[in-house]
Amino acid sequence: MSVWVSWSTLLLDNRMCSNVHASTLWLHVLETLIRGD
C-alpha cells in the first residue's frame, strides 16, 4: 500500500500528472463507450 502512495506522490509532484489525468479520462471514456451508456 505504501508503495502505491509513494508512486502516487511522485506522479502528482511530477509534470506527468497532466498525462496521467488524460489517460484516466480516456479510460473512463472508453469504458462508457463499451457499456453503451
3-state secondary structure 1-37: CHHHHHHHHHHHCCCCHHHHHHHHHHHHHHHHHHHCC
Residue 37's pLDDT band (cuts 50, 70, 90): low
The pTM of the whole model exceeds 0.85 = no
Residue 30's pLDDT band (cuts 50, 70, 90): confident
pLDDT value of position 1: 53
Q: Domain range for residue 30?
A: 2-35
List CB contacts of 11: < 8 A, sequence separation 6 or more. 17, 20
Place of cell 505504501: 2
Q: 3-24: per-residue pLDDT in tens?
A: 777 777 776 666 655 677 778 8
Number of domains in the chain: 1
